[in-house]
Amino acid sequence: MAGVAGPTRTPFARVSRDIIGALWDSDLRYRMMMLILLAVIGWAGVAWIYQIKYGMGTAGITHPVMWGVYITNFVFWVGIAHSGTLISAILYLLRSGWRTTINRAAEAMTIFAVMTAGLFPLIHLGRVWYFYFLAPYPNQRLLWPNFRSPLIWDFFAISTYFTISLLFWYSGLIPDLATIRDKLKGAHGLWGRFKEKLYGYLSLGWAGTDTQWRHYRRAYLYMAAIATPLVLSVHSVVSWDFAMAITPGWHSTIFAPYFVAGAIFSGIAMVITLSVPFRWALGLEDYITEYHYDNMGKLLLLTSLIVGYAYIAEYFMAWYSGDPVEWESFRWRALGDYMGPFVIMMTCNVIIPLLCFWRKIRRNIAALFVISIFVNIGMWYERFVIIVTSLAHEYSPGAWGLYKPSWVELSITAGSFAWFLFWFMLFAKTLPAISITEVKESIAEGVWSPGDKKEEA
Amino acid sequence: MAARETVTAIYDDIHTVVGAVRSIREEGYEDVSVFGPIMEAELEDAIGKPPSPVRRYALIGGLTGCISGFALTTWSSYYYPLVVGGKALASIPAYVVIAFEMTILFAGISALIGMLIHNRMPTLTLHAAHQPGYTDDQFGVRVVCEPSRTAAIEEMLRSYGPDEVRVER
Amino acid sequence: MHPAVAERLGVSTGDLVAVSSPHGQLEAPAFVYHGVRPDTVAIPIGQGHEHFGRWARGRGVNPLALLPAAADEASGATAWLTTQVALAVTGERVTLVSTQGSHDDLGREIAEVVSVGAAAEAEEQARQAIADEPGALVEAAEDADPKSPYRWGMAIDLSSCIGCSACVTACYAENNIPVVGAELCAQGREMAWLRVESYYEHLSEGEHGNGHVDAQAAEDESAVPHVVHLPAMCQHCGNAPCEPVCPVYATYHNPEGLNIQVYNRCVGTRYCSNNCPYKARRFEWFDYDFPFPLNLQLNPDVTVREKGVMEKCTFCVQRIMKARNDANAEGRDVSDGEVTTACAQTCPAEAIAFGNLRDPNSRVSRLARAGRAYHMLGELNTRPAVTYLKAVSRGSEEG
């Protein structure tokens, strides 16, 4: 558990000790939690196999609502994946000092969220056993995918995003892995020697020479620079899955910025939701402080205002266009059969985050934690509302219909949360959850040191 | 070449290292290397090596990705010509998305590959002068020089208050 | 029954109602519907079989049980319309399934209606235009390979359509469409490639069909709006919204202007259906059974689809292929009337015409140039190959 308290020779040594000290040892609660998560994942796996065996009809999706909870989950998790690279890449380029203690966990979140999101396009396929038809691979039948389809754009965007995020995250880890390797030098026992070897291999031979640093820093900078437009593009592409369609309620040019803001909004909320229990469990209260939550609260507020603006702009455009189809679609979205989800979405995403205007609330970790949970719920419902209400009331009134999720869809949704948390908890115990190197940089630059809450910031 | 000697000084503060390295460099010593848990732009300037060629890898990778993105989409549309939605076979606006994503993908991967090539990573054998403290809280300044200048260098490094100075002959 | 009757009786759709006449009695679930006169109840005939085995047993009721044994005195026919019945509420409920989402087309250029006067005027103009330019083709004829002699198309006259659904039955039989049963239909999983939608009539104003919902139907609960029946299937659009969104080219435009669905290539993303404004596409939610002896009636020329693929009206492509092969063997083009779809062949009112839009003299080309011609949701510029002819209003004379 948390590092042994007591003074160290230098502040740097304290950082190494505290962060590495939080690794590996797990208590009974942790193990029970992991077992529960595995059980939920297993149950979702059973549900998926059931769906593959008997057909998509086991899910609740139907004509005309052909996309339901699966695509909601897909967009939700891709959204969650946006905070990580935003915090690490964009704030890195902007030299925001407060990112250093949360960027590693946020990046890990990105990777696990993409791993979760990436499952849903597969789960929702009618014939998942032919998923490779989407890949542009040379084949004997001389078939190629349709590069005009937003789904192929998605395929490219999500796989690029996953690859680049993984490499970016791993590059950031290399010096930290070398630190762990050197701390483990001369470890005892089979397990100790295995760990030493493992982190030795993973650190790729990092020795901290100035040559290595010179190439490394350059590569990291460039990866941050290209990851920034990538983050913005990925959720834009996801939004185009909808905006490129002619479906009323989807066909809108506002979708790309609206989705990107929404993604960052939900991503920040998830960072807050996860970091609160996580800093407590790993004893890292000195590393993620009120100072960081204050900043995250500001970002949450900003993106909430953008999202709220987008909701209003959507309604304004529907009215201003004078298109009766669009009109009816938006009227029904707010007042029709799916009024409940609409109200949840509006309350959680627009009204509750306004509390972040108060500095006291932003610096109150418990309050911010509760707000962040509301935002997570609200953002899930936002995607549900956009997808389901638009499809249920389309152009042809004779073909209007309703959608209700089935137990298969709900099981798989629960499984996706368990899957995500499982990886995150595994990560928290095996890799430095806070960037050792970057905290040291913050200390050296005098930006921030562990324990500093920056009350007067 | 005559036998060379190595002077290594260990510090615990990066700002001291910057000063030490700067004065060594001002004296005209070329073969200076620094080890440490972090690196700063100031220190890189003091060491004075040229910018990393990694940026060229990123540029070339990005251009390759962009060109291959457009090439793949356009070529395959003509090779497998199916009309969809009354659109042109070369639907360039749609292909921009693919080309953009491939630009990013290739640029990112080649920047990383460039870094690995220039750092001779991954490797199982660490740099001979590496010490465990260099990834924790110690900075090492290592100067390789003619035996005749060893003493002067040692004194210069000591003047910055190191934790330890070692001379290997 | 009409909503006014339902209100008086205190029943809603699905409530079991006992219907009795001096000659007999039966129980049937109520279906509340504006399209029935308030002083009548309507019961469809053709159900309530007792001797057709397990598949027909227990489905519906036979209204003949209510009728007198003697013929009607005035008409000499069976007393379908003159038998008086009494209604009583039983208190039981049955789940009734409707495949129609809404009966109001909201003036969206879906089921268009025109007054007699306006129709006559438009037809006169159209006749003149055809006489002036006999060889001209409709716009939709462009949407095929320039070298192809064919652009298959369809014209449906809503004035002729009586809503009997014979076309739907023919389509099921021709194309091996699974019959999924009430439970799945209730979930919206009906598999019909061709469905007959019914909309309350409202008059279009002027050329643009900027219609208003018939004031009577919208406001007066006791009014009886007329109903327009609209056979809706894949429109084989020239600018098909479904096609570019498919990631694997499982749906594309073939050189003869057909919107093709390639079952073997389909992975089942269902994006095409989401992007189809006509909602003409159907998805194989399960592997459906064709239990003996239904398997014996499967059409050998049509694939039975696997679970997880999208499907839709093909304009009976298997018939087109056969006609074209026969014509090619004889070294000529397919002539008008040589090939027709199952629905067009079956329509008792000849409301559906199928043929080549590139042949200016084909029946479908001439109908597509008619004065009453319009495209469903034409505003979207999907350039459908199906042309509808506006129903002539039975309601009023003014337009």
Please identify among residues 57-116 of chain A the ones whose CB lies closer than 8 Å to any CB of chain B.
none
Among residues C62, C88, C73, C78, which one has the least CA distance to residue C10? Answer: C88
- Amino acid at site C219: E
> From the candidates B77, B83, B89, which should be mutated to test the interface with C, based on the most C CB atoms within 10 A?
B83
Contact A210 B104 (CB under 8 A): no
**Any idea what DSSP says for residue C188?**
T
- Amino acid at site A115: M
Q: In three state form, how does the secondary structure of chain B look?
A: CCCCEEEEEEECCHHHHHHHHHHHHHCCCCCEEEECCCCCHHHHHHHCCCCCCHHHHHHHHHHHHHHHHHHHHHHHHHHCCCECCCCCCCCHHHHHHHHHHHHHHHHHHHHHHHHHHHCCCCCCCCCCCCCHHHHCCCEEEEEEECHHHHHHHHHHHHCCCCCEEEEEC
> From the candidates B39, B76, B77, which should be mutated to test the interface with A, based on the most A CB atoms within 10 A?
B39
CA distances from A141 to A89, A152, A316, A421, B50 (A): 42, 19, 49, 41, 51
Please check the confidence at residue A7 and state whether its pLDDT lies above 70: no
Residue that the structure tokens 């990013």 belong to: B104
Residue that the structure tokens 């991967």 belong to: B109
> Average pLDDT of C370-380?
89
> Average pLDDT of B86-100?
89
Please identify among residues 231-250 of chain A the ones whose CB lies closer than 8 Å to any CB of chain B.
233, 237, 240
What's residue A332's pLDDT? 87
* pLDDT category of residue C220 using cuts at 50, 70 and 90: very low
Q: Which chain A residue has its CA at the smallest distance from B119's CA?
A: A212
Contact A218 B73 (CB under 8 A): no
pLDDT digits (tens, 9 = 90+) for C321-356: 999 999 999 999 998 889 999 999 999 999 999 999
Residue that the structure tokens 């690279």 belong to: A85
pLDDT digits (tens, 9 = 90+) for C261-280: 999 999 999 999 999 999 99
pLDDT digits (tens, 9 = 90+) for A317-358: 888 988 888 888 888 888 888 888 999 998 888 888 888 888
What's residue C291's pLDDT? 84
Q: Tell me how far apart the alpha carbons of residues B116 and B110 are, in angstroms, rounded to a whole number.
A: 10
> Average pLDDT of C106-113?
81
Residues contacting B54, CB < 8 A, separation 6+: A215, A218, A219, A222, B111, B114, B115, B118
Pure H helices in C207-362 = 215-219, 271-274, 317-329, 342-346
What residues of chain C lie within 8 A of the CB of A141, using their CB? none
Distance from CA of A289 to the nearest CA of B (A): 23
Please identify among residues 182-241 of chain C the ones whose CB lies closer than 8 Å to any CB of chain A.
184, 187-190, 195, 197-199, 230, 232, 241
The phi-psi region of residue C20 (left if phi > 0; otherwise alpha if psi is between -120 and 50; otherwise beta) is beta
What size, in residues, is chain B? Answer: 169
Identify the weakest region by mean pLDDT among A12-26, C255-269, C279-293, C304-318.
A12-26
> From the candidates B73, B76, B80, B82, which should be mutated to test the interface with C, based on the most C CB atoms within 10 A?
B82
Among residues A363, A436, A438, which one has the least CA distance to residue A178? Answer: A436
pLDDT digits (tens, 9 = 90+) for B47-81: 778 888 888 898 999 999 999 999 999 999 888 88
What residues of chain B lie within 8 A of the CB of C239, using their CB? 85-86
Q: Tell me how far apart the alpha carbons of residues A259 and A255 are, in angstroms, rounded to a whole number.
A: 6
> Average pLDDT of A2-27?
69
pTM: 0.89
Residues contacting C208, CB < 8 A, separation 6+: none
Query: Would you call A191 an interface residue with chain B, using a CB distance cutoff of 8 Å?
Result: no
ipTM value: 0.87
Q: Tell me how far apart the alpha carbons of residues A421 and A405 are, in angstroms, rounded to a whole number.
A: 23
* pLDDT category of residue C385 using cuts at 50, 70 and 90: very high
Which residues pair with residue C155 across a beta bridge? C353, C387
| Full strand arrangement of the beta sheet holding C386-389 | C352-356, C152-157, C386-389, C373-374
What's residue C210's pLDDT? 35
What's residue A453's pLDDT? 67
